[in-house]
Amino acid sequence: MLMVGLAVLVWIVGWWINGRLANSPAAGTRAVQLAVPVIFGVTVLIVWELLVRGLNVPLVILPAPSMIAGRFAESLPILWADFVQTFAKGALSGYIMGCGAAFLMAIAVDRSDFLRRGLLPVGNFVAALPIVGTAPILVMWFGFDWESKAAVVVVMVFFPMLVNTVAGLRETSAMQRDLMQTYAASYWQSFFKLRLPAAMPFIFNGLKISTTLALIGAIVAEFFGSPTVGMGFRISTSVGQLALDMVWAEIVVAALAGSIFYGAVALIEKSVTFWHPSQR
């Protein structure tokens, strides 16, 4: 009971500190904007820990954060091997291949108005479909190892990336294109100097959407069959063994990988599209 009382107290204190910070005159500063979500996160973790201990929640329902951290530290080699298998081999290679193919396809499509009219609605339609469903088929075709995971990722990221790039390449105004024409710029000159830079915000939007999709595809594809290593494999087998602390440790890895991947793409975007209003 003491622990539960303490949890309520911690929650109130954390909320009170955040309330003071958010309504203080310093609320606009960077430090406070960073501190408030961090305090919130830490408060949630402490309350979680105290509630799990205080109420004696069994391990199969919810392990305490300290247990997850302990398991995480203990099984670093396993987690690293899973990470390499799923992220580096499956998700990343598929991401590069899928986004690259979609980019080239978009350039090809962009040259013909007819193709673009036809492909955009189809692409938009396919982008909304549950494409993860192709995972069993691709696992059947490419075997259990990372190739099938990369294939699922390629299929998943292709259409969002294609739609965004095609939309981006249409971004330039007629005036700008006319200007290039008066300079007697060739197709490729005006492509590289005008239309590609103008398309960059859209391209990066597609790239950012695809980061999450790539991880989802690689993990879900492992539910359909995988070698005995990989994040999806570890999650589904650990769930079977009711080793929920291991599952949570894998989820921490997935969350870290997802946010770092996204953050890296966002950083590149910042340096490439520094001119765009949203970056200033």
Instruction: Give 43-101 as a DSSP string.
Output: HHHHHHHHHHHHTT--TTT---HHHHHHHHHHTHHHHHHHHIIIIIIIIIHHHHHHHHH
Cα(76)–Cα(66) distance, rounded to whole angstroms?
15
CB 75 within 8 A of CB 61: no
With both helix axes pointing from N to C terminus, report the angle between 244-272 and 231-240 in degrees, rounded to the nearest 10: 160
Cβ atoms < 10 Å from Cβ of 239: 14
5 is a site residue for another protein (CB under 8 A): no
Scanning 67-75, 97-105, 121-129, 176-184 for contacts with another protein by CB under 8 A, the matching segment is: 121-129
Q: Indicate the residue among 148 and 172 with the shorter CB distance to another protein.
A: 148
Dist. CA 135–CA 148, nearest whole Å: 8
Least distance (Å) between residue 116 CB and another protein = 8
Orientation angle between helical segments 65-74 and 244-272, nearest 10 degrees: 80
User: Which of 114, 175, 274, 280: binder of another protein (CB under 8 A)?
Assistant: 114
Please check whether residue 158 is in contact with residue 209, taking contact to mean a CB–CB distance below 8 angstroms: no
Q: Identify residues 34-63 at the interface with another protein (CB under 8 A).
A: 36-37, 39-41, 60-62
Which is nearest to 90 in space by CA: 252, 223, 237, 245? Answer: 223
Q: Give the per-residue contact string, 233-252, with another protein (x = CB under 8 A; - = no).
A: --xx--x--x-x--xx-xx-
For the window 250-279, what string marks contact with another protein as x by the rule CB under 8 A? xx--xx--xx-xxx----------------
CB of 135 vs another protein, minimal distance in Å: 8
CB of 98 vs another protein, minimal distance in Å: 16
Using CB under 8 A as the criterion, which residues of the chain lie in contact with another protein when the complex forms? 15, 18-19, 21-23, 27, 32-33, 36-37, 39-41, 60-62, 114-115, 117-119, 121-122, 125, 128-130, 132-134, 136-137, 139-141, 211-212, 215-216, 219-220, 223-225, 231-232, 235-236, 239, 242, 244, 247-248, 250-251, 254-255, 258-259, 261-263
